[in-house]
Amino acid sequence: MKLYKLMIVFLPLMLIAISCGGDSSQESGDAATSGEKTEELRDKNIEIAAEQTKNRFPCDTIALRQYVLDTYDAGTSLLMTEPEYTYSLPRAAVVYYKEQSEQYVFALLTTSKAGERIVEPKNITGFSSSYINLDSTKLGTALMFLVLFKCDGESFSEVWRSEVPIHGGFRKITIKTWKPKNIKYIELNYEDGIISGHRNYNFFMVDGLMKPPHLMETYIALVHKRIMADVNNDKYPDYYEFRFIDSTRYIRILDSIPFYWSQDRKLYITKTNSRWFRKY
């Protein structure tokens, strides 16, 4: 009878232990082979897209995806935007731009941090992925870059690349004009569930298209706000950073602090407090 009771107690524990061990080995195996499997899948998807697309043109997004797959390190891929509506399809995160009869493409690429598993693009797009900044150990750490490509006939050449200082939550890419100085810039819009809002990483062509851009961040959330401005009338964009009173009864703006770009220090600084500075 005692033996029977012991079997009832220990048998479920043994099954749980075996089950956990199996999952662990399977996860390890998946991580070890994820790179090869991901590359094969991406190559197959590009092949299918090329077969199904009737209206092709030089340097289209299919050609760009293939170029990235063939040229860059394993795990590097072209990101897709978050669908606008429930039944919308995601689009390639690119902006085509013409200057002096030359065709250029702004593209958002992602790769994985060295030594970690290859990141799946679906895990860094949209609201739910914005929490990946808290813990990305299981899904890998995504490194994102805005890249400017020049269209060279049937191929591409990289003009410059600029890192985007965030790991998830991507939504869309847009080209805009900063009206005070008539400067073009690329806006990368990201969801941010941690602050209950969104962030924009803005890349300004302050020295023209062919030079690396100037990065400035803006954001709007429940108790966070930073808006674009022209504080000191130079070619660099500036911003106002807001401070809030956040009590159990109300939320109210307390103050707005102007920050401007210091070319000497390569930082955003303010006259309000000499110890306050921002990288972008």
- The residue extents of the domains of the chain are 26-170
Structure tokens of 48? 């299918």
Residue-wise pLDDT tens digits, 59-117 = 999 999 999 999 998 889 999 999 887 777 889 999 999 998 899 999 999 998 887 78
Query: Minimal CA–CA distance to 182: which of 205, 201, 159?
Result: 205
Residue with tokens 């990289």: 158
The Cα 191–Cα 170 span in angstroms is: 6
The pLDDT confidence band at residue 32, using thresholds 50, 70 and 90, is very low
Q: Is 0.85 surpassed by the pTM of this model?
A: no
Q: Is the pLDDT of residue 248 over 50?
A: yes
Backbone angles phi, psi at 6, to 5 degrees: -65, -40
Contact assessment for residue 139 and residue 120, using Cβ atoms and an 8 Å cutoff = yes
